[in-house]
């Protein structure tokens, strides 16, 4: 039975590791998309960094990406930045891929 237990433990460890990587990738994506949106809103330097952090924090409101999307959409609209929902979601998806690649290259 010890072989089965070892295998089960291995799967549990891999799952936990994969979840941690995905959490880090989402946080990294949120920072990247926050910096991207900050640029569209003419924010730079410390203001851009602070905005990116606010996007990261927004992700803790609920599971999934809808909370981040709503924040970005609302902030872009408030600043008069014209951008379709489709392009905003595409940028979020593209930056998640970038974030995953960055995390994997660091590990």
CATH of 23-106 given 1.10.790.20, 3.40.50.150, 1.10.1740.10, 3.90.420.10: 1.10.790.20
pTM of the model: 0.84
Binned average pLDDT, 10 residues per bin, the chain of 107 residues: 73 78 93 98 97 94 89 97 97 96 87
Report the phi/psi class of residue 83: left, alpha or beta, with left for phi > 0 and alpha for psi in -120 to 50.
beta
Question: In the numeric block, which tokens belong to residue 18?
Answer: 């994969």
Closest CA to 32 of 47, 19, 51: 51
């Amino acid at each position: 039975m010890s072989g089965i237990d070892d295998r089960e433990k291995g799967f549990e460890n891999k799952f936990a590791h994969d979840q941690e990587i995905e959490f880090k990738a989402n946080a990294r994506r949120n920072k990247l998309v926050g910096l991207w949106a900050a640029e569209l809103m003419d924010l730079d330097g410390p203001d851009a960094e602070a905005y990116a952090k606010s996007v990261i924090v927004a992700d803790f409101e609920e599971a999934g990406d809808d909370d981040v999307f709503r924040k970005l959409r609302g902030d872009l609209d408030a600043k008069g930045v014209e951008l379709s929902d489709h392009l905003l979601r595409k940028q979020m998806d593209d930056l998640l891929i970038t974030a995953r690649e960055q995390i994997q290259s660091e590990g």
